Amino acid sequence: MRILISAFACAPHRGSEPGVGWEWPKALAEISDHEIVVLTNATNRKVIEAEVASRPLHVGFRYVAVNNPFWRLGSPGHYLYYYLWQLAALLSLVRNGDWRRFDLIHHLTYGGIRTGSLLWLLPRQFLLGPVGGGESAPIRLYRSLGLKPVLKELLRTFSNAASRFDPLLVLMQIRAQRILARTQETRRLLLFSGSRVRISNDVGAGALLTEPVSRTHDGEPFRLLFAGRLLYWKGLPFLNEALEELEVDGLPLRMDIIGDGPLLENMLSKADSSALRNIDLRVRSRLPQAELFELYKQADVFVFPSLHDSGGTVVIEALSFGLPIICFDLGGPPLLAGDAGLIVAVRGAGLKEAGKRLADAVRTLRDDPERRRELSCAAFQRAQQLSWHNTVRSAFDGLVRLSPIADSNG
C-alpha cells in the first residue's frame, strides 16, 4: 500500500506538532512495509534532509513551498498561511496527477479540531487525526485571571461550537474512513462520527531509558519540574499559588520552570524576588533537548496544571524518565498519566482553591517516598505502553496491514 501523510509541521528532535509530524510516519515505516511519503512545508526541508543524511529513514518526503503574505499579522496570519499552504498542497497533487499513486491519504498536522485538510477532496481513502482542541475548563477557573483570559476562553468555546457546522470540516468528517480524536471532549464536537472515531493520543514515548532512574536525596531539596509554553492556560497562575502555599511549610524545595511565552518575564521576576525564601525557583527559556532530559532525570515530580491541553509531549517525556505526574483533571494529561500520577480535581474550584489542591498533591508525594517510588515505576511502565510503535499501531489497526508485534519501543 502507498500512504501519503500530510504533515504541514514536521521536524526531527522537536516537540509538539513538528515532533508528531516526524515521529508518526517514522514509526509507521518501522511497523509496516508500506510505501510512506510525507507531504510537508518546504520550510522544513533543510532540517529533514540533514537528519535523513545522518540517519537513513524509510520514508519519502515531498515539499510544497508557499510564501507567507500574512506574516505581519502574527498568530492569525500564521493560520491564514496554513490554509493557503493546504490549498497549494492540494493543487500540487492535482496538477501532475500524483495523488493517483496513493491508496490512503492521512491528514496528520496540524491536528486541531478547527483546522483540517483539503486532501479529502481526492478520491482516496482518508484518515483524519489525531485531532484535539475540543477540551475546555470551567469558566470559574479563569475568573480570577482577569478579563482578557475570560474573553479568550469564551471566544475559543464559541469557535469550537461553530466548527461543528463549518461545511468544509463537516464534509471532511463525512469523507474520513477513520477519525482519531485525542479525548472524548473533542469526539463530542464531531458532528458526524459514530463508530469511525477512535480515541488516540497523538504523541508517543521514545526509547529513552531501559529502567527507571533511581533518585536519592541525601538532604537535597525536593525537586519539581514544569516544561511547556508559559501561558495562562498552561496553569502558571495556579502553579504560582501552589508555590506560595508550599512556601508556608518552611521546607526546602526546588522548582524548575522551562519554557518561553508571555509569562516568562513575570516568572523571571518572581524568581529574582525575595518572596520565596524556602523555594529555589529557577526559570529558564528554551533549553536544548539534551539539557531538558537531564532535568527530567534529576526531578522528583513533573507538575503540569494545564487547563485544556489535548495531550502533552512533555507529559510523555516525563513518564519516559519515570517521573510521577501531577496534573488537573482536565483535558488530555490525566489520560496520558493514567495511574502514574496524582490527578487533582479542580472542577468547582477557583484560583486560590485550585492552587491549594495542587500544593496538597505536591505535599503528598514529598512526604511519602514509598508512594513516590510506586508512581515512578508506574510512570515508566506507562511510557512503555505509550511508545510510538504502540500509539501508531493502535491508530492504524484494522485499516492497513501491519507487521507482527516485535517490541514496544518507539
Domain with 249 in it: what CATH number? 3.40.50.2000
Question: What cell does 300 get?
Answer: 522528583
Q: Are residues 171 and 54 in the same domain?
A: yes
Q: Are residues 187 and 312 in the same domain?
A: no
Backbone φ and ψ for 247, nearest 5 degrees, come out as -60, -35
Strand partners, 327: 304, 343
Residues 381-395: b if buried by 16+ CB within 10 A, e if exposed: bbbbebbbbbbbbeb
Q: Are residues 239 and 111 in the same domain?
A: no
Looking at residue 269, what is its pLDDT? Answer: 87
pLDDT in tens, 193-237: 677 899 998 888 876 555 656 565 667 889 999 999 999 999 999
Q: Are residues 200 and 226 in the same domain?
A: no
3-state DSSP assignment of residue 56? coil
Residue 138, in any domain of the structure: no
Domain limits for position 50: 2-132+164-204+387-396
Residue 270, in any domain of the structure: yes
Q: Are residues 185 and 238 in the same domain?
A: no
Looking at residue 114, what is its pLDDT? Answer: 86
Q: Are residues 55 and 190 in the same domain?
A: yes
Q: Are residues 198 and 319 in the same domain?
A: no
Q: Are residues 128 and 265 in the same domain?
A: no
Supply the pTM of this predicted model. 0.88
Q: Are residues 244 and 184 in the same domain?
A: no
Residue 213, in any domain of the structure: no
Q: d(Cα 107, Cα 105) in Å, to the nearest integer?
A: 7
Q: Are residues 126 and 231 in the same domain?
A: no
Residue 409, in any domain of the structure: no
Backbone φ and ψ for 146, nearest 5 degrees, come out as 110, 170
Residue 141, in any domain of the structure: no
Q: Are residues 183 and 301 in the same domain?
A: no
Question: What cell does 77 get?
Answer: 496570519
227 contacts 292 by C-beta, under 8 angstroms = yes
Residue 158, in any domain of the structure: no
Looking at residue 407, what is its pLDDT? Answer: 47
Residue 147, in any domain of the structure: no
Residue 352, in any domain of the structure: yes
Looking at residue 408, what is its pLDDT? Answer: 45
Ranges of beta strands (E only) in 229-329 are: 253-258, 279-284, 301-304, 325-328
Based on the structure, what is the number of domains in the chain? 2
Looking at residue 25, what is its pLDDT? Answer: 96
Looking at residue 15, what is its pLDDT? Answer: 77
Looking at residue 161, what is its pLDDT? Answer: 86
pLDDT tens, residue order, the chain (410 aa): 999 999 999 999 887 899 999 999 999 999 999 999 999 999 999 999 999 999 888 999 999 999 999 988 888 899 899 999 999 999 999 998 999 999 999 999 999 888 889 999 999 999 998 999 888 888 888 888 888 888 988 888 888 888 888 888 889 989 999 999 999 989 988 877 677 899 998 888 876 555 656 565 667 889 999 999 999 999 999 999 999 999 998 889 999 999 999 999 988 988 888 778 889 999 998 888 889 989 999 999 999 999 988 888 899 999 999 999 999 999 999 999 999 999 999 988 889 999 999 999 999 999 999 999 999 999 989 998 999 999 999 999 888 888 876 544 44
Q: Are residues 55 and 191 in the same domain?
A: yes
